[in-house]
Each structure stands twice: as C-alpha cells, then as structure tokens.
Amino acid sequence: MSSTAQDVSGLPDSEKPLLTGNQTFASITATISGIVERKTPPIWYLALGAALSLLMVLFGSIGWLVYEGTGIWGLNNPVGWGWAIINFVWWVGIGHAGTLISAILFLLRQRWRTSINRFAEAMTLFAVSCALIFPAIHVGRVWVVYWTFPVPNQMGMWPNFRSPLLWDVFAVSTYFTASLLFWYTGLIPDLATFRDRAKTKIKKFVFGILSVGWRGGNRQWKHYELAYLILAGISTPLVLSVHSVVSTDFAVSILPGWHTTIFPPYFVAGAIFSGFAMVVTLTIIARKIFGLENMITVNHLEKMNKIILLTGSMVGYAYGMEFFIAWYSGNIYEQFTFINRAFGQYGWAYWIMVSYNVLVPQLFWFKKLRTSVPVMFVASLFINVGMWFERFVIVVSSLAQDFLPANWDYYSPTIWDVATFVGSFGLFFTLFLLFIRFLPMISMAEVKTVLPEADPHYVAPGTKGGHHE
Amino acid sequence: MSEMNKKIGKKYWRTIEELGDTPEYRQSVIEEYKRGHEDDENPWSRRSFLTLMGASMALAGLAGCRRPVDKIVPYVDQPEEVVPGVPQYYATTMPQSTGAIGLLVQTREGRPIKIEGNEAHPSSLGSTDALTQASILGLYDPDRSKKTREKGAEKTYDDFVTFWRERAEEFAADKGDGLAVLSEPFSSPTLGRLKQDFLKAYPRATWVAYEPVGDENVGAAIKAVTDDRAAAVYRYERASVILSLDSDFLQSESEAVTAARGFSDGRRMDDLQDEMNRLYVVEPAFTLTGGMADHRLRLPASHVGVFAVALAGELAKRGLSIGTVPSVSSPIPDTGWITALAADLIKAGNNALVVAGRRQPQWVHEIVLLINNALGAVGTTVQYFGHDATDTRVAELANLVDRMNSGAVRTLIMLGGNPVYDAPVDLKFAAALKKIDHTAHLSLYFDETSQAAEWHIPRTHFLEAWGDAVSIDGTKSVIQPMIEPLFGGHADVEMFALLSSGRDQRGHDIVRDTWRSILTTGKFDKAWRRVLHDGLLVGSAAKALPDRRPQPNKTWPKVGATTGSLSATNLEINFYPSHLGDGRYANNPWLQELPDAVSKVAWDNVAVMNPSTAEKLGVRNGDIVRLDVSGNALEIPVWTVPGYADFVLGLPLGYGRRFGGRVADDVGFNTYALRTSSNMYFASGATVTTTGRTYDIANVQDHNRMAGRPIIREASLEEYREEPMFAREMVEHPPLRSIYPDHDYSRGYQWGMTIDLNTCNGCNACVIACQSENNIPVVGKEQVGKGREMAWIRNDRYFAGDADEPQMLHQPVACQQCENAPCEQVCPVAATVHDKEGLNTMNYNRCIGTRYCSNNCPYKVRRFNFFNYVKDMPEVVQMAMNPDVTVRSRGVMEKCTFCIQRINRSKQEAKKEDRTVRDGEFQTACQQACPAKAIQFGNINDPDSRVAKMKEKDRNYALLGELNVRPRSTYLAKLRNPNPEMDG
C-alpha cells in the first residue's frame, strides 16, 4: 500500500480505496471519538430543540387521541386504516436498511459497509421505534392493546394466531430485539475505546458498564467475531421476514389491491429501497456536518445508489406486474381497483408514487448523477416521499373503493393525522441526535479492518499492490 | 363528542330572556333542569370528571380501566307479573292523522323500549314503518315540554284550568261566538264525542282541523262523486295492474304499511308459474314507488291530471263508460304509452287499480274514481268505507285566519299541530295569532306555535296517555299508556274534556265513558279488558260500501288548469313530506340520521332536481340557490337525483325548525316558506338564482351505479321464466375452496336469512327497527358526513339504465354472517368469532378496535365507535335502550348479530318447554318491521322452515358469493314485469 496522496479517479470501482485521506488506526479513532469528545456544537442544541418540539407534538397528539378517540383522525367506514398504518409500514420499511447493511452485507463480505453500518443500524432502531408507536395507538382501545400479546390470563383467552396483525406483533418485535442486540454487540469494542479515552468519572463509569469488560484480547476478539457472525446469521432472515409479514397484513385480506401474492417480495424490495434512501439522506447530512468525507466517501454513497437503482427497479416491476395480473386474472374487482388507482380519485397519489419511486432512481444509471452528492440527496428525498405515497396508495385507494359501490367514500386526513406523523419525526431525530452526540456514529473497530494495516499480506513483486484482494 | 358540541356551539336562543342571559333566566333554567341536567350548567359534572379520570388512567397506566359502576337497587315490593329481564308486551294504538296503526309495545321493567306492529290490526298486519318505529324515542325526548306556561312564564295546569273557566263563562253567554278550536285531524271516537259536546255547549264556536299533509283532496273527491263521506281502501294484493298517478303509496301516502304489504303480496313470485303484478307510475319526483315501477313516466305534477284525462279518453275510446271525456292534448309526446297502458288496464278489468296521490287536486281524484269504477275495480281492488274522522280543511283554516284578522275570533285553542310553523305561508298565521285576545296551544314541545301563543300546555306522548282511534276500515281500538307521563303532560282527551265540560277529568275515565256505548254486549269490564289485550275491538271493522259506486252519469269533473311547458325560468316545485313526516318528528335523532331513501341525504333537506335541470340552471350539488315563487323566497341547497321530471324540484317538508328542540333546530331548510294555500303540493312559475355560496351536505352514498357488478341481480319476468337460474349464473368463478376446515353445521340450529329484492321497496323501516332494538347510537351530521354512520342494516340505493330514465333499486345490507368470515380470521384478539349456530358473533368486551375486520369485510357492514357516541346521551334517553343489548363504548367495532338476544330468548323459552324453537316463533327486528315481508329468518337446518324454502328458490343468490365467504344472508333476485307491448 502506497502512502502517497491517492489519485483514485483512474481506478476501477473495486480497486478504489474505501477510505481516503491517508487514514491510520489512530486517525480513525481520533476522528470518530473526536465528534463525541468535542464541545457540543450549538447547532446540536438547536437541532435537539427542534426535535424535542416535534416530539412534544407527538405526545400531544397521542394524548388527545387517547382522550378523545380514534375519531380525531380522518378515518371513516370503508377506510378503517389511514395514516397510522401508512406511517407504520413506511417507518418499518426505512428500518430495513440498517440490518440489511450490517447483516446481509456482512455475510456477503461487502467491506464497504463498515463506514455506514453503525449509522444505518441506529437508524433502523429508531425507525422501528417510530413504527411501533403506530400500531399501538391506532387501535380503538389503546389501554388493552396488550391483549395482542400471548399473555396467560384467567380466561384462557389467547390471541388469534390466524391474524396477520398478530404475526406483525411477533415479526416486528423480534426484528427490533435482534437489531438492538446486533447493534449493541457491534458497539462493544468502540464503547471500550470511549471508556479508555474518557476523562470524567461518570463517562468512565458509564462506558465501563456498557463495554462489559472489553479489553481487546485475542480470545475476546475470537468470541466476539463469532457472536457477530451468528447474530448476522440470525438477522438475515429477519430482514426478509419482517416486511414480508407486514405485507401479509394486506396480502392475507380479501380486498382487491391487497389480496395479492406479489406483496412479500415487493414489500421487501420497497423496504430496502426506502431504507437506503433514508440512509443516503442522513449520511449526506452527517458527513457534511461532521466532516467525515474521508470515512464515508462518494464511493460508499455510489454503492448505495446502485442498490437504490436495483430495488427501485424491482418496485417498478412490481407496479407493472400488479397491473398485468389484474388484467390477466379476469377479476372485475381487481381490474377496477388498479385502473382506479391510476385514474380514480387517488390518481394523483399514484402518479406521485410512480414518478418518485420508479422514474427518479433511473437517474442513477448515469455515473455522473449517482456520484453527485446534491443529485443523490434530492433523489433520496423524493424516494422517501414516494415510498410514503406507495403505502398511501395501497392502504387508502383499496379501502376507499372496494366491492360494493354504495360503500365508496373519500378519505382525507385531519390535522391530527398529520401531527402524529410529523411528531414521529420528533422521536426519530431526538433519538438520532442523542446517538450521534454520545455514541460513535461510525464503527471504529470495523472501519479499521479495511485499512491495509489490518490485512497485512505478501505482495508478489510485479503484481499490482492492493489493499483489496 | 366535542366535535358535535362545537357544531352545536353556535348560539341558539328560544326566548328573548335567554338571549339576554339575565339572572332571572338562569334561575329559570336551573329550575327547569333540576333533575338529570347538571351537565348543562356545570363544566365539571360527575360525568365529565369521570371521563377525564378515565382518560388520565389510560394515559398513566394501561391496567385497571373500568367504566364507573352504578348501583342497581332491586324492587322492594315486587310488582305482579313483572319479572326483571323478561319483556312484557302490551297492545296499543298509534293515531295517524285520520287513521291509526295497531301496535304491540315491548316494555321492560315498566319502560316501553320497542314498538312492533299488531298482527291483528288491519292497518299494521304486524308491520310498521320507520316513523312508527322511531316514535318510541320521541317518548323519551328530553326536549319535550315539561311545564304549562303563560306567555313563556311557568304556570301550573290548574292556572290554565282557571283561565279556561273564565273563558268558558265568558263564552257561555254568547254560545261560543268568538271562540275557535284548531285541532289536528283525528279519528278517535272519544275526541269526536267531546268535540260534539263542545259544539253543543258552544254552538257558535268554530272547530277547524288542519294538518300540513292530509287526505283532504281524496276525501273531497269521494264525497263529490259518491255522495258519501268515505275513505278509499286499496287492496293492492288483488291488483294485477296498478297505475299510480303521483302516488307514493309505498312510502308517504296514508296506510303505506298495508299498501306495501298488499303490493308485495301481489308481487311476490313463489315459483315460476306464479303471477306478479305490474306497476305503472307517473310522477314528477323519484319516489320509492317509482323505484318499484315496471314502467315509469316522468311528468310534472301539474301534468299528471291531464295525463289522467288523456287516459280516461283512451279508455272511453276502448268502450269503457266513463262519461263524456273532454279531449285534451296529450301531456306526453308519444301516445304509445297511454294506449298500451289503457289496453293493459282493460285487460286486467276488475283487477286493475288506479291510484292518485294526495298531492293531486280533487278533480284528478274524481277522474281516478271514475276510471276505477269503469274498470270494475270498485269492490275488488278499491273499497269504500264509511268514515267520519275530522279531516284537514285548508279552506276552513284560511277562513279561520280571516276571522282572526277581522277580530271575529277572540279566543283560539290549538290542540296539537304547529300552525305557526306549517300553515300555508300566505295565511300569515303567526301575525293573525297576535291579534287575538287569548290563545292556548297543547303541544309536545314548546315549539314555534307555543312560543307565539299565550298559553302552552305540555301534551302527552301517545305511549303515556289514554285515548282511542279508528283505523281507515273502521276498526276501533284503544290507546293505552305504557308508562306514567314522563314530563307531566296532559292527554288530548283530557284537554278536549276540559274544553267541552270545564272539568278536569282523568283520561282513563273519559275513554271508558265513550267505550261504554261501543261495548254494549256482555259485561263492560270484561269486554274492555279484551279490547286492551287485543289492541282492537275484534269485528269492529266497517262494512265496505260496494253499492255506493260513483255515478258515471255525473258531470265530468272540471279539468283544472295546466301550466304549460316548464322551463328554466318556469320551474315546478313539489312539496313532499320528508321522512320526518311534516316536521313533527324533527326532534327525533334516529329519523334525522336516517338518510332519505332516494337522495341518501341525512340531517338536511335539499332541493332535489335531475342532473340535466341542474346543468341548465348552472348549479351543482351543494350550491345554495334562492327559490322564488309567487312572491315567496327560500334559500336552499341543491341536490341532484336522476329520474326527476325536467324542470321539477322536489322540496321535502319538515325541516328548518326554529323551536323544535335541540336536534331539530336549524337542521335543514323550512320549505313551508314557499307553500301557499292555493298551491299546497306543487306550484309552477318558480325561478332559481344562484347565491354563490355552498353548503356541506352529509350524504351516505357517493356512488349511484353498480359499476357493472352483479350486486342487485335483476331480470324481467320473461327472462326469468326462460332462465330461472339467471341470478346464480350471472357470475362465473373458479371452484371455491378454503384452506381452513369447515365447521360442522349438520346439527342444531343454523340461522340464516333471505331478503327478497323483488318485494323490498327500500322504505327504511328495518333500519329504524334495528336502531331501536340494538341501541345503535346517533352520531350527528358531521360524523355522517365523514362516513361514520352507525346503521347496522342500511339500504343501498342504485340507479340503473339510461341516465335520463333510470330505474332505482334498493338493497338492504346487514352483516351477512359469512360462514367463511373474512373478519373473523383477521382479528388479532379473536373478538369476532363463529358460534355453533353459524353466527358471526361480536364480543364487544374483547374488541380492541384494530378495524381490520371492517377493512376485510367485503360488505362493509361493520361499524366503528370512533368516539364515545353515547357519552352525552341524556339520562331519560337511556331509558329507551334495550337492556338485552350492550351499549358499545368507544373504540369498539359493532355490527348486526341477527338479533342474537331474540334468538337466545326463544331458545330459553323452548328449553323450558323441552322443545326446539319453532319456525317463525320469533323474528329479527328488521324482519318484524318490514311492511313488504321481504325478509325471512330462521333455522336453515330445518328443511321445512320458511327461510330454508326461500333459499331453495331459483332466484336465491349470495351477494359476492364468488369471494367464497359463504354468507348466511342471501338475496332473491329482483324481477320486473314490463308490458311486452311497451318498450320504455
């Protein structure tokens, strides 16, 4: 490995170094720990203040909801689910990227993941936290929502295991638990670094507890890496299962536009799509603010954009296939539902969905565009919005106009639907801001493994020197 | 429901004192609402405090939430025959204008809670209509007047008695000169007797009866043609060809309950060989009767008479002796309609029936009588019964008002009615009332007329007072009270007796006095008890008057003026009683929330016109327009319904009350403002100007067409005979298989229902019956507008065919009790589960309110409590609740249960007697109310049960059966019986 200034532009993608700026073990530790150890920047307080305000909006909306009833939302008789379920599916979808990056890409030996996995995993946890709020509060009697758990009781009443909502309860809570464990396990070596660098007693104590006695010994590393591998193995099917199960909320029903077998893969693709879009959005902001351009390089972002292009096209394929099947089935209800989606009362939402989710990612066919930070930032925002509208289209348009035209109605949200959704960003950003202030937002231990020093091996004379194989 | 409160939050006032909010007024309010109305005064009442406490607990921790428990105290002295929890039924009668309908009222621990029809009564035959069903709620209306008042100030009834005795003395001298009584029409023998007594005591006094919608024109025509005071009773069941001339006999005419029964009996197809009647309807608006028509002609109301003349001419041309029919130019361009109709009527002969609506003038009715006579229908499909009810006389009312203005009337006693609100606007009744020395008004509410009168006396509801009535065929019955007067009102008979004798007597004694002359054979007390038990005097029906046929040689009725052709600047407005009747039921929230059967608009009345007229006028749904006709004006929003005659507007009556009560006030628009004594039912020359403002209208059905889906399956009689299985063959689907094993339904009861769409006319009686039986909450206009109405059974209304000449179809949809129920499978907490008898049951206590069941219900019959809709229910209204049915709290899904409480009660009775439940032993509430007897319910495991036999029929089909949900409710396809000679 040469240690001169790198000119990587001529290299093929696979040859590009993952980190730029002549990083060493020490520089990595310094850069990442520095973010936390530096004096808190005023902008952080400002941001936290804004996030906490939104969080209060969330609490206020939920309080009013519990006091007054689900009627404060715009729901009506045909449309029994509205923004709450849309938000749930959207947040769960966003929560997909983290575990995918840390688990699946880990198993696939995608070493570029190391710069973004901590960040993405945190995002996953926070997004799933936001998601979990919605199914809990959307029920009519919030105070008995625990009946969905198989709690032994004197009546011998068990939940209905045939209901996809119950599957949801298990799938999402399992996913959350596994993601949390995975994230925490990954944090342990970095927490130990923090402990070692801590200057105050409290920090020493807290990080000491959190790092569970990590000393970086060989044996510890051996066990640690095995544990991490096992957790990755456990998490991998969960990545695929959780959104598949969420999709069964719809697919198991008999409603035209919901009752379709394409939903599990389509939802998983959509979830990864939206998850990566959110990671791109947040990463671009963070690397800019904290000057992490050398840790999270354009190369990283480009790789994520390629996944966005792939999954976005899968989603587009699913949109098309739904139409084909509706026509091919000969089922008049299906046919109506899909024509109605595109040209009916919610047609505007459908075209937002198609243009944002299918057309926007096509920009990433062009290298110039997929390596341009402003372009990808804007595109990722569009995709986030588009994916929200995908769920809106699925949930609302099918419900509003189903089998009997006499029941058809129009659903529009109230201020409380909006406030609850906006408020959920308050929770998300509050958690996120706390995370980047107090925990290492990039996995120091793992990033170091992509340095050449971490992988010393003999380079035959005459062959191209490389840190990659 | 603070949303609702916000809506009501606009300040309404009843008296000037209230507007001023003086301390005196506050004191009077406190006194008036001493009991049970703390909520109005104290923002931190027990109720709201508990609500907040409940919410705080819900927020603080999730455990231990229970609604407050009330203490229940058992009887100290057990009343005889009253077993707590066991319903008791008493017969009584509801007076209806000049007729009456016999009822059986279910009482629970002394509270009447549900009204059923009395099968033995000729005007009920066991069925009821929506108004009758809803009247039980009117009993418990907390807005009913509770105090006698003089000029608004509270007095006692004794004060009024004193007042009247002074008047009596005054008028005794001049034999009642200057004394007038304005009553409602009535048929009661007791009231008739007392009226005679009154007129004997005060021979120079005037007695006028007025009701805004009455049968005056019909009765006058019969009198003119037959020289008899008689009522026409139509035997629809005997008619094979029926022509309705602007007669909505299935819904808004008098005796609609029996008309619907008779019509359905003539329409029901038991098998392929059965015969079915044919209905022609000529009408300006689209009514339920028009919806059932095999041939329907849209014609302005003012052209209907000319149509009748043209028809008579055609009949005469074909050899019927109708006298010399004047020749008129046909009101319709294509005379093919009239010739085919005439041929069909003649073919039917004495099984033909022509009916004209009471909205039509007297001369049209005279022509109709002559046509019926010429056809030979009198004696078979038309019968005349002698009749001496006190009927509406608009001309006499006008005369009375003249005398009031001239000072000839010094004291006016108004017994019921609400003339200040509903008298013809040109009479300026309110102004005339001010010119009189003394006025008194007996009324259920302190309403518009009571406000204007000197004295107001609270009236009793018919369920809490003694009285009697005579049905249209002469059957006599007694009105017996079910409960002591809740608010201390005074019965009609007591007031009448006071007027005629000056004595304050008990209603029971007054009525018995009358009946002593009726029950002359045997012991009186025994016969009296028999009448009370049966609900009528058996065998008291009058003999029909078959001989008194109209005289064909009489002079041909003078044909009234027609209005020429209508246009955008010469519109015809038509007044119809709304489903609130003439407005007297406006404070009944069940009826307010019931959508109009045709326009599907709830909580408002609207000016209805067809879309092409609206287009020509440049107005759209919800636009507020100004209607001008003969110097009167009204602003009202527009609503379009296809099938109205061009340039015709339908204006439902009964809305826009100012002092009708908390529910009624300022709901809708007062269409009486346009109604004059010369044009009581329709008037032309109306113009429309747009105001540029719009109005939110709560309609419950946005889409009017079936979108090509096999929802209501229909065929012509001919097609049906060729293809008897058409309804089942209409849908092709792959084999239906389920991944779940079937339940075992081979044993025990298996409940099922059928609804015959061929006889259902969409009258909504089932909807209100269900609401009453199952404690269904009322949610208010705003919630209905959001699509949150709670009806467990609803009537879907579709239009089919040509946009200008549509057909209307109705389909009642309640929970279909699917065997393979999509709702059950998706509920995460198993709150909705299947029972052994095939019912799809709802466990309200277990429901957490995910609404997934509703989403997955293809019929969307589940209803969700988005708010605590019963939180603000006044305590007195709680007495109307059925104790067998849980009142649902917020956050809970609810739906039709096939009246499981009735099923279980019958099973208990059967078990006590060690037998099985017999077919027809009990009925569901909807089935029981249905005037058309379109609903059958029973055990489908019993092949001999009526419902099982219905399900065997070729027309039986499952709505959305292709989804493999296997509904237990099925429908019998609709048939129409068009005349093969006609193509339209």
pLDDT digits (tens, 9 = 90+) for B600-624: 999 999 999 999 999 999 999 999 9
Q: Which helix (H) or strand (E) holds B442?
A: strand B438-443
| Overall residue count recorded for chain A in this entry | 469
The pLDDT value recorded for residue B822 is 92
**CA-based nearest residue to A272, from A237, A312, A321:** A312
* d(C-alpha B345, C-alpha B330), whole Å: 18
Determine the Cα–Cα distance for residues B353 and B368; give it in Å rounded to an integer: 9
Of B638, B607, B583, B592, the C-alpha closest to B781 is B592
Choose among A71, A143, A148: nearest Cβ to B58.
A143
Structure tokens at A248: 């069964």
Q: Take residue B769 and report the two structure tokens written for it.
A: 């019956």
* Contact call for B866 and A71, based on CB within 8 A: yes
CB count within 10 Å of CB B109 equals 16
For chain B positions 734-763, those within 8 Å of chain A (CB to CB) are 740
Out of B59, B863, B892, the one facing A63 most closely (by C-beta) is: B59
Question: Is residue B891 predicted with pLDDT exceeding 80?
Answer: yes
Give the tens place of pLDDT for each residue, A15-45: 566 777 677 778 888 888 888 888 888 888 9
Which of A80, A143, A332 lies at the smallest CB-CB distance from B864?
Answer: A80
Residue A308 belongs to what H/E stretch?
helix A298-329
Which pLDDT tens digit goes with each residue over A378-425? Answer: 999 999 999 999 999 999 999 999 999 999 999 999 999 999 999 999
Least confident of A168-172, B557-561, B875-879, B889-893: B557-561
Domain boundaries, chain B: 2-60, 148-214+391-518, 225-386, 571-699, 714-735+748-976
Contact in structure between B423 and B210 (CB atoms under 8 Å)? yes
Contact check, Cβ <8 Å, A141/B890 = yes
pLDDT tens digits, one per residue of B386-430:
777 778 888 899 999 999 999 889 899 999 899 999 999 999 999
Closest CA to B839 of B815, B870, B869: B815
Residue at A11 is within a domain: no
- In a mutagenesis test of the B interface, which of A88, A407, A408, A411 is the best target, namely the one with the most B β-carbons within 10 Å? A407
User: Would an 8 Å CB–CB cutoff place B705 in contact with chain A?
Assistant: yes
Nearest to B150 by CA among B138, B139, B166: B166
Task: Give the pLDDT of residue A468.
Answer: 46
Q: B851 and A166: CB-CB below 8 Å?
A: no
Look at residue A329 and tell me whether its pLDDT is greater than 90. Answer: no
Cite the DSSP H helix spans in B471-523: 492-501, 507-516
d(CA B674, CA B59) in angstroms, rounded, equals: 55
pLDDT at residue B497 is higher than 80: yes
From residue A313, give the alpha-carbon distance in Å to each of A318, B290, B302, B898.
9, 55, 66, 50
Under a CB-based contact definition with an 8 Å cutoff, are residues B582 and B422 in contact? yes
Distance from CA of B210 to the nearest CA of A (A): 40
CA dist B21 and B14 (Å) reads 11
Determine the average pLDDT of the residues in B448-474: 91
The predicted pLDDT at position B736 comes to: 87
Q: Name residue B336's amino acid.
A: G
Query: How far apart are alpha carbons B698 and B715 in whole angstroms?
Result: 33
Give the integer Cα–Cα distance in Å for B713 and B708: 11
CA distances from A350 to A318, A382, A386, A398, B359 (A): 14, 14, 9, 12, 51
Give the DSSP H or E segment for B201.
Answer: helix B189-201
Q: What is the mean pLDDT of residues B917-924?
A: 91
Cα–Cα nearest to A66, from A4, A137, A10:
A137
In this structure, whether the domain defined by B225-386 belongs to CATH 3.40.640.10 is answered with no
A41 to chain B, any CB pair closer than 8 A? The answer is no
Rounded Cα gap, residues B159 and B172, in angstroms: 20
SS3 A404: coil
Tell me the chain A residues in contact with residue B702 when contact means C-beta distances shorter than 8 Å. 408-410
Q: What is the extent of the structural domain holding A329?
A: 24-454
A with B: how many residue pairs have Cβ under 8 Å apart?
A: 181
Portion of chain A with pLDDT greater than 70, in percent: 93
Whether residue A468 lies inside any domain: the answer is no
Chain centre distance of CA A1:
35
Q: Is the pLDDT of residue A94 over 70?
A: yes
Q: Give the type of residue at B476.
A: K
- Classify domain B571-699 by CATH architecture: Beta Barrel (2.40)
Burial label for A198, CB within 10 Å (0-12, 13-18, 19+), is middle
**Across residues B261-287, what is the average pLDDT?**
91
- What is residue B440's predicted lDDT score, i.e. its pLDDT? 92
Instruction: Indicate if the pLDDT at residue B893 is higher than 50.
Output: yes
CB atoms within 10 A of CB B336: 13
Chain A residue numbers with beta carbons less than 8 Å from the beta carbon of B798 are 405-406
Whether residue A68 lies within 8 A of chain B, CB to CB, comes out as: yes
Of A368-372, B60-64, B917-921, the poorest mean pLDDT is in B60-64
Closest CA to A400 of B782, B895, B852, B860: B860
Percent of chain B scoring above 90 in pLDDT: 50
Say which residues have a Cβ less than 8 Å from residue A382's Cβ, sequence separation at least 6. Answer: A356, A360
Distance CA A126, CA A432 (A): 7
Is any Cβ of chain A less than 8 angstroms from the Cβ of B858?
A: yes
Q: What is the pTM of this model?
A: 0.88
Confidence of residue B65 (pLDDT cuts 50, 70, 90): very low
Q: Is A161 on the interface with B (CB under 8 A)?
A: no
Report the share of chain B in percent with pLDDT over 70.
Answer: 90
Residue B554 has pLDDT above 80, yes or no: no
* CB contacts, 8 Å: A76 with chain B: 786-788
For residue A126, give the nearest of A86, A95, A171, A93 by alpha carbon: A95
Sign of CA dihedral B372, B376, B379, B385: positive
Positive or negative: CA dihedral A301, A303, A306, A310: negative
- Report the gap between the CA of B18 and the closest CA in chain A (Å): 31
Q: Which residues of B touch A405 (CB under 8 A)?
A: 703-707, 709, 711, 798
pLDDT for the residue numbered B707: 82
- The number of beta carbons lying within 10 Å of the beta carbon of residue B532 is 15
Contact B893, B832 (CB under 8 A): yes
CATH 3.30.70.20 fits B714-735+748-976, yes or no: yes
Confidence of residue B73 (pLDDT cuts 50, 70, 90): low
Contact B475, B159 (CB under 8 A): no
The mean pLDDT of B947-954, rounded to a whole number, is 92
Q: Is the pLDDT of residue B64 over 50?
A: no
CA distance A173 to A131: 11
Closest approach of A400 to chain B, Cα-based (Å): 10
Q: A140 is written with which tokens?
A: 């009519």
User: Which A positions 210-239 lie with beta carbon below 8 A of chain B?
Assistant: none
Average pLDDT, rounded, for chain B: 86
Where helices occur in A355-414 by DSSP H, the ranges are: 367-370, 373-392, 398-400
Give me the mean pLDDT over the B945-967 stretch.
92
In the three-class reduction of DSSP (H, G, I as helix; E, B as strand; rest coil), residue B158 is classed as: helix
Residue B790, min C-alpha distance to chain A (Å): 9
Strand partners, B716: B976
Whether A64 has a pLDDT exceeding 90, the answer reads yes
Segment A258-288, tens digit of pLDDT: 998 999 999 999 999 999 999 899 889 888 8
pLDDT in tens, B753-805: 999 999 999 999 999 999 999 999 999 999 999 999 999 999 999 999 888 88
Q: Does A345 touch chain B (CB under 8 A)?
A: no
Residue A450 belongs to some domain of the structure: yes
Of the CA atoms within 13 Å of residue B183, those in its CB half-sphere come to 22
User: What pLDDT is recorded for position A418?
Assistant: 95
Contact B277, B242 (CB under 8 A): yes
Return the CATH number of B148-214+391-518, one of 3.40.50.740, 3.40.140.10, 2.40.50.100, 3.30.420.40. 3.40.50.740
Where is average pLDDT lowest: B444-448, B872-876, B923-927? B872-876
Strand order in the sheet with B99-108: B88-96, B99-108, B111-117
Are B790 and A399 a contacting pair, CB within 8 Å?
A: no
Quick one: B391 exposed, middle or buried, by C-beta within 10 A (0-12, 13-18, 19+)? buried
Residue of chain A whose alpha carbon sits nearest to that of B55: A67
Residue A121 belongs to domain with CATH number: 1.20.1630.10
Could you tell me how far CA A341 lies from the centroid of its own chain?
27
* Measured distance CA(A79)–CA(B534) in Å, rounded: 49
Q: Please indicate, yes or no, if residue A414 is contained in any of the structural domains.
A: yes
Rounded to an integer, what distance in angstroms lies between the CA atom of residue B627 and that of residue B438? 36
pLDDT at B43 over 70: no
Q: Are strands B153-155 and B148-150 parallel, antiparallel or unpaired?
A: antiparallel
**Residue A213, number of CB atoms within 10 A of its CB:** 10
pLDDT band for position A13 (cuts 50, 70, 90) = low
* pLDDT tens, position by position, B336-357: 888 899 999 999 988 999 999 9
Please report, for residues A194, B830, B947, the alpha-carbon distance to residue A151 in angstroms, rounded to integers and kept in the order given.
40, 14, 43
What per-residue confidence (pLDDT) applies to B55? 54
Which among B58, B822, B828 is the nearest to A142, CB-wise? B58
Residue for token digits 């007695």? B207
* pLDDT mean over B591-595: 93
Chain B partners within 8 Å of A60 (Cβ): none
Three-state SS letters, B41-65: HCCCCHHHHHHHHHHHHHHHCCCCC
Determine the residue of chain A that is closest to B2 in CA distance: A68
Biggest CA–CA distance in chain B, Å, is 90
Q: Which residues contact B27 (CB under 8 A, 6 or more apart)?
A: none
Provide, as residue numbers in chain A, all residues whose Cβ is less than 8 Å from the Cβ of B703: 405-406, 408
pLDDT at A34: 81
Domain count, chain A: 1
| Model pLDDT for residues B75-125, shown as the tens digit of each residue | 677 777 777 888 889 999 999 888 899 999 999 888 899 999 999 999 999
Nearest Cα residue in chain A from B65:
A143
The answer to whether the beta carbons of residues B41 and B34 sit under 8 Å apart is no
> Of B275-284, B546-555, B775-784, which gets the smallest average pLDDT?
B546-555
Which chain B residues are within 8 Å of A395, Cβ to Cβ?
A: none
